[in-house]
Structure 1
Amino acid sequence: MSAEPTSAENPWPVRTVARKIAEWINRLGSVWVEGQVTQINARPGTQTAFLTLRDPAADVSMTVTCPTGLLRGIEPPLRDGASVVVYAKPTFYLGRGTISLRATEIRAVGIGELLARIERLRRLLAAEGLFAKERKRRLPFLPKGIGLITGRASAAERDVLVNAHARWPAAPFQVVNTAVQGVQAVPQIVKALKMLDADPSVEVIVIARGGGSVEDLLPFSDETLCRAVAAARTPVVSAIGHEPDTPLLDHVADVRCSTPTDAGKRVVPDVKEETERVRQMRDRARRALHGWVDTQCRLLDQLRSRPVLADPLGPINQRADEVELHRERGRRAVLNLVSHEQAAISGARGKLTALGPAATLERGYAVVQYRDDAGNLQVLRHISEVADGTPLRVRVVDGAVHAVAKSTEPGE
């Protein structure tokens, strides 16, 4: 076998590449493989049986070969969709260039094992918080679009649509038919879920299926589907089976309905009930409005019956009379005060007149003044204050007379 590197000038022939692949695969040991059987081909008279083993959560499959006696020795007989565990060795066939598994042991997975695996997955998803109530979303009151994932022409589809349209005839549904059991169920449901979740007109997604055995409901406990539902941005309603059926999808979905019929009643309101509720609320609003108007009318009547509003000019006139009374009192008080002060002033004037020099002058007396050295007029009180020839000013009652001192004469 050539070990030289390949190139465009020195390529390997197909047989060389096939042998190298076969040598590498033949070095692999036997492995345990789990999957679902999709095709079984065991023709009478042949020594080798063929079946296809498919991954339940992905679009991946492999061909398995085994002795016909091994396949026929399994009880109960294998059927399409059965879950099995195969102990096989990978084998590469040079002639066809294909890889298959050569099985030496095939075990059908029992109900107990399936339930145990579902329980382990349940604990795992619960520990991750996928079942938490905090992450569950409320359904819209009246969704503008409802996505329905269910089997084609199934009773579940009919139950959802009939019950939803009976409650709200205009409910808009977008139905996507998929496989609801078997190896194709999970990939198709996940694809439909992503398509509806990306549609902005869809506000609720319903996944519905009728009841069935544990094996029939296995796709709805698949980890891939559960995680896809948890990652969806649109609220998801699970309506799988009947009341006793509880696949893991029921715990991950935002709303769990016991039956497809229940789902049809949960996703839309009842138009009759809503109409009656609107009528009741309208009646309540009417009664409340009438009651408020009556209350305000009574309040206005009470306000109008009060004296201040019944006779609005009465208080003003009363206050005007009081103002006039106080004004008159003030006027009289001012007049009395003025009269009293005038009398006091007159008395003071009389006293001042009696004591003033004018009264003395009227009785024939005169006031003689002279100028001092500074030129200021001074009253002459003694003869010694003037000399002969000193100018004098003699003030009488009606004026003054200027004179000159000629001589002095002492008094007695």
Structure 2
Amino acid sequence: MQAILSLGELTARLKYAVENQPEFQNIWVDGEISNLTIARSGHAYFTLKDAEAQFRCVMWKTSVSRQRYPLRESDQVLVHGSVTMYAPRGELQLQVNLVQPQGVGLLQLQFEELRARLEAEGLFDESRKRPLPTLPRVIGVVTSETGAVWHDIQRVISRRYPLAELVLSPSLVQGDLAPMSLVEALRRLLDEVQPDVIIIGRGGGSMEDLWAFNDEHVVRAIYASSVPIISAVGHETDVTLADYVADLAAGTPSMAAELAAPDLEQIDLALQQTRITMSVELQRSLDRLLEHLDDLQRQLTRLSPESRLAQIRDELNTLRDRMMRATSHTLTIATRDIEAAGHLLDSINPHAILQRGYAYISNASTGSPVRSVHDTVAGDPIRATLADGDLLATVSATREREDS
């Protein structure tokens, strides 16, 4: 009779058989995450499913903490782990230690990892980015020679700045061979053409289509370029590592062409405005210079020997006039004083008094003046001096006035 197994024995045998089979250990399985639960303990439980089947999965806390890609419901993923059996319930499960995204999710993870590493190396530093030339003579372009990008760039440049020479270095822009093709196209431009600025880009597409512009070799080639590079990959919403490392990133190839070349009409308008501004400023400067020269001329005239002599001459003339006026005034006063003194002298001149009918009486013997009746007596000889001669007489008597 065949041996009868208990459920414990059955599950133990199954557990041993499954967990010791190499084909069930360290395997990769793809599918979609569903019924995702993160327990308070930190463990993750979910179901991996596809169109044909589904399988329970568990991811312990230690593996969850090391997981760089966040677990999300409905994500298409690749999981790595081993098949185990949970004996208490007799259920098989996949014990997962790593989850990686598939498709765009995987590419995005690779993008972020490479971006972080290159950023840490300083490849994206703004301080190293160079300004674009103002008036480029030669514009290099790295893109597909059959795509619309090349024709768009030609159209924009011919309209805005036909003076520039456009040089295409054709390259693959999609697929496994595209990265090395882009690097080689850049090298050709730098070695053989030496343009003033380079546009590198392609038209829009999916992340997979644009992936060549996230290649590390392409990014480092752009970083090593000796001339400024404008990246123009896809549409305005698309972002590649080429945009991070380029000196300038444009939303579209047409925008890149506008950034690379100035508008000739705008240059002409700017030149006209500059001419007007320079003319006005030149006239202002000339006016200020002429005014300064006039000031210098006035100073020179004021400080010249002739001017100084004329000034001294004027001062001497003024002084002479003042002296003459002062002298005239002094003479006038002196003349008036002299005339007054003359009048005074005339009024007290004895001869003038005699002319008015008076006489000077003196003692004829002694010559003493007779000023009073008491100065003589009867019988004295006296002399009366008149204006025109003398009279000699003898005093016969003296008589004093009664009112004296």
Match of 2:203 among 205, 210, 217: 210
| SS of structure 2 residue aligned to 1:130 | coil
Cα separation, 1, equivalents of 2:224 and 2:185 = 14
Structure 1 counterpart of 2:189, one-letter code: L
Q: For this pair of structures, how many residues does the alignment match?
A: 222
Deviates more, 1:107-116 or 1:287-296: 107-116
- State the Cα distance separating 1:158 from its structure 2 match: 1.4
- State the Cα distance separating 1:254 from its structure 2 match: 1.1
Structure 2 counterpart of 1:278, one-letter code: L
- State the Cα distance separating 1:298 from its structure 2 match: 3.3
- State the Cα distance separating 1:123 from its structure 2 match: 0.6
Structure 2 counterpart of 1:214, one-letter code: M
| SS of structure 2 residue aligned to 1:242 | coil
Match of 1:229 among 213, 222, 227: 222
* Aligned pairs (5 A) from 1:23-102: none
| SS of structure 1 residue aligned to 2:192 | coil
Cα separation, 2, equivalents of 1:138 and 1:321 = 70
Cα distance, 1:315–1:268 mapped onto 2, change above 3 Å:
same
Cα distance, 1:252–1:320 mapped onto 2, change above 3 Å:
same
TM-score normalised by the chain length of structure 2: 0.50
User: How big is each residue's C-alpha offset from its partner over 1:356-380, in whole Å with a ceiling of 9 and x where there is no partner?
Assistant: xxxxxxxxxxxxxxxxxxxxxxxxx
User: How big is each residue's C-alpha offset from its partner over 1:35-80, in whole Å with a ceiling of 9 and x where there is no partner?
Assistant: xxxxxxxxxxxxxxxxxxxxxxxxxxxxxxxxxxxxxxxxxxxxxx
Cα distance, 1:162–1:111 mapped onto 2, change above 3 Å:
same
Structure 2 counterpart of 1:292, one-letter code: S
The alignment status of 1:245 with 2:199, answered yes or no, reads no
1:184 aligns to what?
A: 177
1:201 aligns to what?
A: 194
2:254 aligns to what?
A: 261
The alignment status of 1:293 with 2:286, answered yes or no, reads yes
Structure 1 counterpart of 2:258, one-letter code: K
Structure 1 counterpart of 2:169, one-letter code: V
Cα distance, 1:112–1:301 mapped onto 2, change above 3 Å:
same
| SS of structure 2 residue aligned to 1:131 | coil
Gaps of 5+ in 1: 1-30, 33-84, 86-106, 325-412
Q: 2:169 touches 2:186 (CA, 8 Å); kept in 1? A: no
- State the Cα distance separating 1:248 from its structure 2 match: 0.8
- State the Cα distance separating 1:208 from its structure 2 match: 1.8
Q: 2:145 touches 2:168 (CA, 8 Å); kept in 1? A: no
Q: 2:169 touches 2:188 (CA, 8 Å); kept in 1? A: no
Match of 2:140 among 111, 134, 147: 147
Match of 1:130 among 123, 128, 138: 123
Cα distance, 1:200–1:301 mapped onto 2, change above 3 Å:
same
Cα distance, 1:311–1:128 mapped onto 2, change above 3 Å:
closer
Cα distance, 1:243–1:312 mapped onto 2, change above 3 Å:
same
Structure 2 counterpart of 1:183, one-letter code: D
- State the Cα distance separating 1:236 from its structure 2 match: 1.3
Cα separation, 1, equivalents of 2:120 and 2:303 = 78
Q: 1:157 touches 1:208 (CA, 8 Å); kept in 2? A: no
Cα distance, 1:321–1:263 mapped onto 2, change above 3 Å:
closer
| SS of structure 1 residue aligned to 2:200 | strand
User: How big is each residue's C-alpha offset from its partner over 1:306-335, in whole Å with a ceiling of 9 and x where there is no partner?
Assistant: 7945997342144379899xxxxxxxxxxx
Q: Which has the larger radius of gyration?
A: 2
**Which structure's relative contact order is higher, taking Cα pairs within 8 Å and 6+ residues apart?**
1
- State the Cα distance separating 1:144 from its structure 2 match: 2.0
TM-score normalised by the chain length of structure 1: 0.49
1:92 aligns to what?
A: none
- State the Cα distance separating 1:186 from its structure 2 match: 1.0
2:166 aligns to what?
A: 173
| SS of structure 2 residue aligned to 1:199 | helix
1:280 aligns to what?
A: 273
Cα separation, 1, equivalents of 2:163 and 2:314 = 78
Cα separation, 2, equivalents of 1:318 and 1:142 = 64
Match of 1:117 among 110, 130, 140: 110
Cα distance, 1:188–1:314 mapped onto 2, change above 3 Å:
closer
Q: 1:144 touches 1:201 (CA, 8 Å); kept in 2? A: no
Cα separation, 2, equivalents of 1:124 and 1:272 = 44
1:77 aligns to what?
A: none
Cα separation, 1, equivalents of 2:310 and 2:163 = 72
Q: 2:302 touches 2:308 (CA, 8 Å); kept in 1? A: no
Gaps of 5+ in 2: 1-26, 29-77, 79-99, 318-404
Cα separation, 1, equivalents of 2:250 and 2:295 = 59
Identity %: 37
| SS of structure 2 residue aligned to 1:165 | helix
Cα separation, 1, equivalents of 2:307 and 2:214 = 89
Match of 1:315 among 282, 298, 308: 308
Q: 1:303 touches 1:309 (CA, 8 Å); kept in 2? A: no
User: How big is each residue's C-alpha offset from its partner over 1:12-53, in whole Å with a ceiling of 9 and x where there is no partner?
Assistant: xxxxxxxxxxxxxxxxxxx99xxxxxxxxxxxxxxxxxxxxx
Q: 1:162 touches 1:264 (CA, 8 Å); kept in 2? A: no
Cα distance, 1:199–1:235 mapped onto 2, change above 3 Å:
farther
Cα separation, 1, equivalents of 2:114 and 2:126 = 18
- State the Cα distance separating 1:135 from its structure 2 match: 1.5
